[in-house]
Amino acid sequence: MGRRPDDEFSDPSAVDDDVAAAGMHRWRGGPLDHGDEDATAGDDAWDDSDTGAGDAADSVEPRPHRRRRPVLTTLTAVAVLAVVTAGVLLAQERERRTPEASVERYAQLVADGEYEAASAIVPVLGSWEGPAVSSAPREVVPELVSDEASANGDFTLVEVTREDETIPPVGETVEVTVRSETDGRPTSSVLRVERRPDSSPGLPSWRVLDSLAVPLVVRVPNKGLVEVTVDSVPVTGTAPEDGDAATMVYPGVHTVAFDGGEYLLAQDVERRVAPAGSSVDPQTWSVIASLDVIPGEAAVGAALADATSFVDACIAGEPADPPCPDPVAAGTAWADLPRYDTTWTQIGSSVFTDGSAPVVVLQLLGSITSPGVTGPPPAVVQLGATVRLGNEPPTVEITPIED
C-alpha cells in the first residue's frame, strides 16, 4: 500500500488510533516530524503489510486455555509411575517377608555378636510351647547372652535355604536350614518358622521359633561341688546324681573352670558349642563339659605336715588318738635312733562337700627309713588325712589305715 490519502477525515501527521493500538505498524524512516511534510519518507515510509493481520487479531476472540491436556498427561504419568513403584516396593517387601529372610536376619545378628538384638527376636529359651530344648533345667545367665559375651563367640553364617517353597496357612510352620561355621568347622542346623497373620494384604509375616543358643551342661563329679564358671561368669554346675543343669550360650568356644583357690584345682575345659545338627533332635541336644576337682598343693601340704607330726608323736611315745599303727607304736626301735626320715606317697584322693564346706580326703603311704644309721628295716604305714576347708587354716584329721 502507499501512503495514506489525505481527505477531510484524515490527518497525514496522525497515526491511526486503531493501528497504533494494535501496535502492528513499523516506521522504517527517520524521526517523525509532523510539522514538515518533506521530512517524511516516500511512499514506502509506511509499511502496512501487517495491518491486516493485526486488525484480524483484534477482531478474533481469545482461544480457549490449552494447558489442561499437558497437566492431565503429567498426572497420568505420575499415577502410572506410582503404581509401578508400588509394585516394585511390594515385590521387594515380599522378598523380605520370607521364612529364609527372617532366619537370615536373626542368624546374622548372632554371627555379628549382637546377642541382645538376636534374643529380642527369639528368646534364648525359645518362644514356642513344647518340650524343653534339653531334658536338663535351663538357666539363662544374662552375662553369657549379652553383647559382651560375643568375645567368646565363633559363629559364621554361610547360607540359609529352604527346600519347600510353599506358603503354609497361618499358624503352621516351615523348616529352614542354616549352614554355618563354628570354630572354623562346618555346622548345620534347622530352625522352625511360624506363619503369622499377614501384616498387610499380600505381605506374609513370619516368626522364628527356635533359638541358636545351646544348653551347656557343666558336670562336677565331685559330690556337692557345683560352683563353676563359664567364660569367667559364675554358673551352677551339677553332680551327675543330682541331674544336669544347663546354662544357655550362643555358638562358639567356651571355657569352663572351677575356682577353688589354693586348696582345690580343676583343669579348665574348653568346649566347642555348635547349634543342634540337622540330624540331631534339638529337643534333647546339649553340650556337656565335665570338671574333675582335685586337691591343690596347699591341701596336700597341710595333710602331709599333720601326717608327719602324727608319726613323730607315735615314735616319741606321746599319747595318740587314734592309736598309733604298730610300725611306729611306742617302744619300737625307731625311738632310739638319732634320726629317721619319713617320705609320703599319695595313693588316693577325693573331694566333696559335707554340706557346709569342701572336704579333701587323702590316702597316704608313709615309708620310715634310717639312712646312714643302723636300725630296723624300713617301716611302712598307711594313713588317711581328712582336710576340711571350712576354716583357715583348714583342720586335718589323721586316721591310721590297717591292712
How much is the pLDDT for 319? 77
Share of the chain above pLDDT 90, in %: 39
pLDDT single digits (tens) 325-351: 888 876 567 778 878 899 999 999 999
**Parallel, antiparallel, or unpaired for β 264-266 and 46-47?**
unpaired
pLDDT band at 31 (very low <50, low <70, confident <90, very high): very low
If you average pLDDT over residues 215-219, what whole number do you get?
89
pLDDT single digits (tens) 231-255: 999 998 887 777 777 889 999 999 9
How much is the pLDDT for 117? 96
**Helices and strands, counts by H and E, the chain:** 6, 20
Distance CA 344, CA 342 (A): 7
Q: Do 254 and 231 touch, CB atoms closer than 8 A?
A: yes
pLDDT band at 384 (very low <50, low <70, confident <90, very high): very high
Distance CA 110, CA 252 (A): 10
pLDDT single digits (tens) 170-181: 999 999 999 999
How much is the pLDDT for 33? 44
Amino acid in position 313:
A
Q: Do 387 and 394 touch, CB atoms closer than 8 A?
A: yes
How much is the pLDDT for 294? 94
Q: Does residue 47 have a pLDDT over 60?
A: no
Distance CA 351, CA 293 (A): 7
Distance CA 332, CA 191 (A): 76
pLDDT single digits (tens) 80-107: 666 556 455 445 555 567 999 999 999 9
Enter the DSSP assignment of 276: P
Amino acid in position 137:
P
How much is the pLDDT for 4? 47
How much is the pLDDT for 36? 46
Q: Does residue 24 have a pLDDT over 60?
A: no
**Parallel, antiparallel, or unpaired for β 246-249 and 233-236?**
unpaired
CB contact set of 102 (below 8 Å; sequence gap of 6+): 193, 206, 207, 208
If you average pLDDT over residues 212-234, what whole number do you get?
89
Distance CA 327, CA 314 (A): 9
Distance CA 274, CA 50 (A): 95
Closest CA to 126 of 10, 285, 7: 285
Lowest mean pLDDT among 1-5, 76-80, 166-170, 341-345: 1-5
Share of the chain above pLDDT 70, in %: 71
How much is the pLDDT for 285? 77
3-state secondary structure of 31: coil
pLDDT single digits (tens) 119-146: 999 988 764 444 444 455 778 899 999 9
pLDDT band at 362 (very low <50, low <70, confident <90, very high): very high
pLDDT single digits (tens) 145-168: 999 998 888 899 999 999 888 888
DSSP states along 360-403: EEEEEEEEEE-TTS--SPPEEEEEEEEEETTSSSPEEEEEE---
User: Pick the residue with more confidence: 228 or 28?
Assistant: 228
Distance CA 25, CA 55 (A): 11
- Domains in the chain: boundaries: 1-62, 63-95, 97-294, 297-400
Q: Do 252 and 153 touch, CB atoms closer than 8 A?
A: yes
CB contact set of 55 (below 8 Å; sequence gap of 6+): 18, 22, 24
Closest CA to 208 of 126, 142, 276, 135: 126
Distance CA 212, CA 108 (A): 11
User: Pick the residue with more confidence: 87 or 395?
Assistant: 395
Distance CA 292, CA 175 (A): 40
How much is the pLDDT for 126? 61
Q: Does residue 258 have a pLDDT over 70?
A: yes
How much is the pLDDT for 54? 47
CB atoms within 10 A of CB 45: 14
Distance CA 9, CA 295 (A): 140
Distance CA 277, CA 257 (A): 26
Q: Do 280 and 320 touch, CB atoms closer than 8 A?
A: no
User: Pick the residue with more confidence: 318 or 81?
Assistant: 318
Q: Read off the C-alpha cell for 148.
A: 559382651
User: Pick the residue with more confidence: 162 or 11?
Assistant: 162
